[in-house]
């Protein structure tokens, strides 16, 4: 559904390619019209089939929609979704209540906001959600994720949120205030969070650059309990020069992830991997690409199907 081409948004019929090696069929009728005029970097699909797209584009089907737009299920532009954003958006995510979560530098109503925002289902800014500027002043809010219960996960390079010490990772209440029942396990200045995957049971998977969280050693991937303590039963499969990103939860509890790096710090192999629920690599999953298991750096897993397969 994502491609870094001139007309980047495609509709694909069939979800069995990765796991079952079944062919995918291009839907020639989607999207109807000229589509976005530049890259689509992120996609979120509503339950009714409407598609949120975010990226570097300025126009969609010839209509001014800089950075963020919503398509109807057949690919036509949804005229009821009119965001006030006037600059590119890095990521878009959909909260269970229909709210739209955007991340990246963007401009809204002639004011530039660094980091993240929460929009109403129609694309207008949710003014009930407020965040103070990140602190220290040279830090940032990078990503906003739905926690599944109205609360939100916030990651970035910050060390505090609203005067509460909460380095790198915080959980927010629906209005943007800090949820004090969660305490961030990050303590080292060099630690980074690159990706989160909220889990249905309230826990969260954290991928990034770190070697020790809450006294539990492990490279670059950890599972946190709802209160922020590290789950020692989760075993990171990564070595010191390896990392994963773009985590997707499959129906059976296993995980799809982008893997990069190598054991010696020199080889930069990129591949798609499947992990078992508690972290180890799934030895039954050898995806076949050409050549070998190397894939283009921009490859994304965009959808997990009930049969355990995934769409990239």
Residues making up the chain, counted from first to last: 312
- 33-37, 139-143, 301-305: the lowest-pLDDT one: 301-305
100, pLDDT greater than 90: yes
Q: Do 272 and 259 meet the contact criterion of CB atoms below 8 Å apart?
A: yes
Q: What is the pTM of this model?
A: 0.82
What does the pLDDT read at residue 2?
35
pLDDT tier at 107 (50, 70, 90 boundaries)?
A: low
- What rounded mean pLDDT belongs to the chain? 81
Statement: residue 301 has pLDDT above 90: no
Q: What is the pLDDT of residues 160-195, one digit of tens each?
A: 999 999 999 999 999 999 999 999 999 888 899 999
pLDDT digits (tens, 9 = 90+) for 266-278: 767 777 888 999 9
Confidence band (pLDDT; 50, 70, 90) for 306? low
Instruction: Say if residue 109's pLDDT is above 70.
Output: no
* pLDDT tens for each residue of 35-56: 899 888 888 889 998 999 998 8
Q: 273-285 burial by CB neighbour count: b if 16+ within 10 A, else e?
A: bbbbbebeeeeeb
Q: Given this model, what pLDDT does residue 309 score? A: 61
Percent of the chain residues topping a pLDDT of 90: 42
Question: For the segment 220-243, what is each residue's pLDDT rounded down to a tens digit?
Answer: 999 999 999 999 999 999 988 888
């Amino acid at each position: 559904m994502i491609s870094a081409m001139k007309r980047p948004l495609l509709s694909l019929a069939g979800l069995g390619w990765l796991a079952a090696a079944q062919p995918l069929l291009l839907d020639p009728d989607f999207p109807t019209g000229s589509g976005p005029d530049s890259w689509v970097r992120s996609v979120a699909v509503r339950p009714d089939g409407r598609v949120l797209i975010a990226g570097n584009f300025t126009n969609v089907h010839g209509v001014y929609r800089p950075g963020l737009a919503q398509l109807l299920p057949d690919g036509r532009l949804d005229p009821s979704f009119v965001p006030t954003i006037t600059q590119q958006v890095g990521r878009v995510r959909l909260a269970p209540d229909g709210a739209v979560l955007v991340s990246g530098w963007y401009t809204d109503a002639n004011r530039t906001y660094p980091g993240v925002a929460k929009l109403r289902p129609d694309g207008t800014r949710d003014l009930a959600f407020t965040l103070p500027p990140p602190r220290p002043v040279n830090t940032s809010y990078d990503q906003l994720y739905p926690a599944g219960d109205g609360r939100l996960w916030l990651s970035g390079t910050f060390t505090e949120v609203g005067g509460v010490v909460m380095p790198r990772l915080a959980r927010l209440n629906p209005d943007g205030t800090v949820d004090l029942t969660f305490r961030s396990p990050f303590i080292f200045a060099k630690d980074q969070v690159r990706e989160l995957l909220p889990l249905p049971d309230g826990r969260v998977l954290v991928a990034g650059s770190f070697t020790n969280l809450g006294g539990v050693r492990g490279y670059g991937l950890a599972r946190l309990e709802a209160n922020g303590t590290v789950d020692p039963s989760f075993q990171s499969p990564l070595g010191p020069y390896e990392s994963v990103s773009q985590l997707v939860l499959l129906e059976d509890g296993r995980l799809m992830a982008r893997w990069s790096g190598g054991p010696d710090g020199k080889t930069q192999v990129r591949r798609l991997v499947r992990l078992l629920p508690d972290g180890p690599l799934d030895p039954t999953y050898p995806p076949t690409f050409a050549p070998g298991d190397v894939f283009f750096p921009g490859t994304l897993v965009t959808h997990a199907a009930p049969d355990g397969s995934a769409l990239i």
